[in-house]
Amino acid sequence: MMADLTALELCAGAGGQAIGLEEGGFEHVALVEIETAPCNTLRLNRPAWNVIEADVRAVRGRDFRGIDLLAAGVPCPPFSIAGKRLGRDDDRDLFPEAIRLARESRPAAVILENVPGFGSSRFASYRAELKVELEALNYRVAWQVLQASDFGVSQLRPRFVLVALRPAAFRHFRFPGAAINPMGVGDRLRESMGANGWPGANAWADRARGIAPTIVGGSKKHGGPDLGPTRAKRQWAAMGVDALGIADVPPGIDFPFEKSPRLTVGMVARLQGFPETWQLWGRKTAAYRQVGNAFPPPVAAAVAQAVNTALRAARRAARIPALQKTA
């Protein structure tokens, strides 16, 4: 899709949403991310991108006035159902900063992404507050929880997505519907699992037919990477995956045929919807955390394309009366 619409992205992470915005026809004017490892990942893959390594609180929206889209994958912890501190009393909550930057930069559209728990009833009043604030800026607001597997991602990963558009564009906006049936874990990773000559790769792939449970990024406070809580580990075990850790490399020719392999970071990235060419900067734990915290690129692309379509439709409609006047 032609990329002549511009975007400012906040909390960009390792580029999951950025890849989607790019595929959806948006060109980044800047990507803001506070952590060094994901910033280096962005620079590694897109040297021309304007990556700003900073806290979003230090960003001035007026420096980006006139952009078409403000997109943000604001941090999830304040809105986790299991979290101890929830909502605006938590200093990790960056929704207020996203609203501030929308006020200052005046984009034509806003996309805010978060965990599905933010769509639950316990956050209804907070969502209502955000809606009021955005409507005061002359946006119309809609939100939906989208399932990543509906967009070809080999993973059960629901995400809350809020979209705000000016009234003229909002009337043309529709959330994307299910588009592509996902590949099972085995089919997605068959080639990767056999890359080092493991003779059991095909048999393993034939067994691992299901869709992966939600991949989590983990906390910096807790040890090395693994594939999630106890329930998820049981689901992985049923597909023949050792979920207690992440491997450095795929299993080799001497790996026991009957043993369950571990996934590599690259394999997890494929299950998250990252393209095979996307490189992750840093050692295993840092790289895995970047993948686990990402917005799946195919889902981000579908939302971006829907917003792109709405903006273009509004602009075409605005031109028609002007053309009729001069006829």
Domain's final residue, options 248, 263, 282: 282
Structural domain span for residue 229: 185-282
In a domain, 242, yes or no: yes
> pLDDT in tens for each of the 327 residues of the chain?
445 899 999 999 999 999 999 999 999 999 999 999 999 999 999 999 999 999 999 999 999 999 999 999 988 656 655 444 444 556 678 999 999 999 999 999 999 999 999 999 999 999 999 999 999 999 999 999 999 999 999 999 999 999 999 999 999 999 999 888 899 999 999 999 999 999 999 999 999 999 999 998 765 654 568 898 999 999 999 999 999 999 999 999 999 999 999 999 999 999 999 999 999 999 999 999 999 999 999 999 999 999 999 999 999 998 876 545 554
Residues 122 and 85 in one domain: yes
CA distances to 71, 76, 316 from 172, rounded to whole Å, are 19, 29, 11
Q: For 182, which DSSP code?
A: P
- Residue 301, in any domain of the structure: yes
Q: Is 120 helix (H, G, I), strand (E, B) or coil?
A: coil
Question: Is residue 38 located within the same domain as residue 144?
Answer: yes
User: 174 and 215: one domain?
Assistant: no
Total domains present in the chain: 2
Residues 6+ apart with CB under 8 A from 205: 186, 187, 189, 190, 193
CA distance 319 to 260: 60
State residue 274's pLDDT score: 98
Measured in Å, how far apart are the chain's first and last C-alpha atoms? 31
Please give the model's pTM, rounded to 2 decimal places.
0.92
Quick one: pLDDT at residue 39? 98
Burial of 82 (0-12, 13-18, 19+ CB in 10 A): exposed
Contact 223, 278 (CB under 8 A): no
124 and 163 fall within a common domain: yes
For position 24, which CATH number holds? 3.40.50.150
Instruction: Evaluate whether residue 288 is within a structural domain.
Output: no
Q: Tell me the C-alpha distance between 310 and 307, whole Å.
A: 5
The set of catalytic residues is: 76
What pLDDT, on a 0 to 100 scale, did the predictor assign at position 179?
Answer: 81
Q: How many CA atoms lie within 13 A of 254 on its CB side?
A: 0
Strands 140-147 and 158-165, sheet pairing: antiparallel
Q: Is 261 helix (H, G, I), strand (E, B) or coil?
A: coil
Domain assignment of residue 119, yes or no: yes
pLDDT given for residue 3 in this prediction: 55
